[in-house]
Structure 1
Amino acid sequence: MTLSGKKIVLGICGGIAAYKTPDLVRKLVAAGAQVRVVLNASASHFVSELSLQAVSGFPVSTDLLDPSAEAAMGHIELAKWADILLIAPATANTMAKLAHGIADDLLTTIYLATTADIFIAPAMNQQMWKARPTQHNARLLQEYDIQLLGPAEGEQACGDTGPGRMLEPQELVEYLSRLHAPAQPLQGKHVLITAGPTRESLDPVRFISNHSSGKMGFAIAQQARAMGAQVSLVAGPVALATPPGVNRINVETAEQMLEAVMSITPECDIFIATAAVADYRAADVAENKIKKNADELTLTFTKNPDILKAVANLPSPPFCVGFAAESQNVEAYAKRKLTEKKLDMIAANDITLAGLGFNSDANALQLFWPEGSRNLSPQPKTDLAIELLNVVIERYQHKTTH
């Protein structure tokens, strides 16, 4: 992990997460970066200039027109100096200013004046994050090619639980390091990934689904982006932060996932289907809640579309990678799916292995393709994603050059 030689301006806004920023600066410096800190007025209530100066080795900037800066134009000096502008924590108020081009302090002025890569780590109350104006501003910022890092989900200082926590300093450093890593084997490629479960309604209250957490698909999306790919992530209902730089499309049902996938497939090079799509849906969804009137309830189900097979059997399909979560005869079932669906590769995992697979942070995979196979040993899903993608790249290049 390295940010060697990178010049980073860290903008700190006034949120409780600002107390983590001295540790963030220390970790950025340890990764090889030079860090200059810009503190807005409200942030100074949560963290001191002295502590930030001590860990960065540079004076902390707070004033738009700083008499000590060259020609009192500190915002231009810092804007030109930076390779990366990281705003962490970024409050809802600052995000609104950035989205609408309001430059009324040093940080927002640097933002408008810089050509550096810009990253924002939101931090706020979960309801403030979910609020429609904040979500609108987040979309606007992404349209400006600004990458949102998080937010994460969890317990908040106010006592609420939900999305809105700033990513931890180590996570932010890892994201920046991966995105600025020199190796970009997927540069110029568009990777489409499905992740998580689908939900199929039975009535306005109930649905059928499965235990998929989406962690494997999100890890693959994160690593594919770090390898230079344009990444589209079609996600079922999961509580995971969108990896930075990834275009996320949220869906619930298998039919919605099929529609989203088919709209993107014509422009993608590689399709990796990790989603645990429901095989069946209710033939008729009840208009009202089904009442408990009898000891037994009979429901009729109809088969859902096979998204992976539909893509793999297109006239000009992308390189297709399927996933098979099996509880028995793992290799036999995986190879059958590989052949029947006309896939380029399939990744199989045994869901009976303790501590691996669904809802776990670790997994192991058996990879199969028409000419061979490879086993990937148990490891964290973030590391497993790198190994998997390296094999996908190898097989993709073999297919496109032979």
Structure 2
Amino acid sequence: MSFDVQKIRADFPILSREVNGKPLIYLDSGASAQKPQVVIDAITRGYAEEYANVHRGLHFLSNLATDKYEAVRGTVAKFLNAPSEDDIIFNSGTTEGINMVAYSWAMPRLKAGDEIVLSIMEHHANIVPWHFLRERQGVVIKWVDVDADGDLDPQKVIDAIGPKTKLVAVTHMSNVLGTVVDVKAITTGAHEKGVPVLIDGSQAAVHMPVDVADIGCDFYAITGHKLYGPSGSGAIYVAPDRMKEMQPFMGGGDMIREVSRDAVTYNDPPMMFEAGTPGIVQTIGMGVAIEYMMSIGMDNIAAYESELCRYTRERLDGLNWLNVQGKSVTKGAIFSFTLDGAAHAHDISTVLDKKGVAVRAGTHCAMPLMEHMGVGATCRASFAMYNTKADVDALIDALELCHDLFA
């Protein structure tokens, strides 16, 4: 289908509201995207008409909920081009997915002195779980810096892999710089050295097609609330060979087959890693959101956002008092910036909000990157498929007001 941004905007009811007497210009999708009506309807229907626990009943509502819930596994597998829906583990989002890898796969396998290679661009969700292993098991974290433009050289990541390296964990797209990383090259090089690769796909999956079969990675995590779906939903692709090496780290619910006083028999993967009552309606809502994106076409979304990104770069480059962090040629539609002078990111964000422009301000859960860039905080405008060039113009107007106030 052709890409019609106005038709897409009409699918998102919140975009018609005003904030502080101004039309809402929502530029914080990198933190959490807004929800289309089809997702809102699916959530409402799930609670109002179709709710029951899954996998545990033979009555109509339980079977209905189970069928809808399990169908999402196939939807996610198609979305990521995973070989099988059995490669998909549901969770509450990327944070849980990466922690699951840390506890289920890495913790039983890594010992003191073993290494994990990270890029300096990683979100805290792809840093803190590895710090747990550093604190508790003596694992060593090796960091790979980005260059002055915010690019991550795949060869530098590969060169950082040594005989004690047991995992490479990198983002597919920086949530601060917008840099898109060549994760296929990193995975190929790491596998040649016998090292598995985990990819944080939180940002990338909403902006471009993702093909885990082509990338060849061992783990690929996504989060539902960035994919126009509900918070508390997510999934992680796990390659079959890695899945066989994992141990469950949460117990209860459908992750077991039998429990006795002296023993427990676990369910088959992926359910072995899905303990307790899951986010039933949240997961169903995520599936609807992904189907909505696929109906538009990920190639169409990527092409539209690429043009929007180009236009935004041109407009921001015209502000010689604005410092945009990251100049990568691969940059997606995420722009972090500071203003010349003493204006703090929080002050800038507050002024923009008065004009109806919603941006993020702070460290964006990426403190090592902030330190590397030499800044305490930035403002971040993150775009989505429902944003327009008019939104960019509104951002520029609001930034010019900031400059007038703080210069």
Assess same fold via TM > 0.5.
no
TM-score, scaled to structure 2? 0.26
Structure with the greater alpha carbon radius of gyration: 1
